[in-house]
Amino acid sequence: MIEFHLDARSGVAPYMQLIHQVRQALRLGLLHEGDQLPKVKDVVAGLAINPNTVLKAYRELEYEGLVAARPGIGTFVTGTLDVVPQAAHQPLRRDLQRWLSKARRAGLDDESIEALFASTFRSASEEDIA
């Protein structure tokens, strides 16, 4: 069973944070098909959040085909997300580090690097959609 947490200052809607955490757990192999998600009542009691927030997150996950609700019993994982093998992380991290030192040499400070990354990331995902 996974446990949720909330970052109140992230600016990300609480139900989205719950969805991210389930997806993350699926990617990292912490959740498998057949596993049960925490009961709505327990999430609500643990985080002191609105029940509708949890219901909305679970509904969305169900819509994505990742989980299914069994009335009266709970919500269970039915789908999978590609688990990113840890081995793939290393070379990517090395590339990123190389790029970071290049950016620093070019005179970019932390803030400019973050801004550049965010805007590139955004336009790349927009192209993916288009």
Partner 1 sequence: MSAVIEADRLGKRYRRQWALSDCTLSIPAGHVVGLVGPNGAGKTTLLNLAVGLLAPDAGTIEVLGGIPAAGRAELSRVGFLAQDSPAYAGLSVADHLELGAHLNRGWDAGLARGRVERLDLDPRQKAGTLSGGQRAQLALTLAIAKRPELLILDEPVASLDPLARREFLQDLMEAAAEQELSVVLSSHLIADLERVCDYLIVLVGSRVRVAGPVEELLATHHRLSGPRRDPATLPDGLEVISASHTDVQTTLLARTSGPVLDPAWTVSQVGLEDLVLAYMSQGAGRRRRDNHHLEVQK
**Interacting residues with partner 1 (CB under 8 A):** 6, 8, 11, 13-14, 40-41, 44-54
Query: What burial letters (b/e) apply to 92-117, b meaning 16+ CB within 10 Å?
Result: eeeeeeeeeeebeeeeeeeeeeeeee
Q: How far apart are CA 100 and CA 96, in angstroms?
A: 6
CA 25, chain centre distance (Å):
8
Minimum CB separation from partner 1 for residue 51, in Å? 4
Minimum CB separation from partner 1 for residue 35, in Å? 21
Minimum CB separation from partner 1 for residue 17, in Å? 12
**Closest to partner 1 by CB, 9 or 105:** 9
**Closest to partner 1 by CB, 13 or 68:** 13
Helix (H, G, I), strand (E, B) or coil at 75: strand
**Closest to partner 1 by CB, 6 or 113:** 6
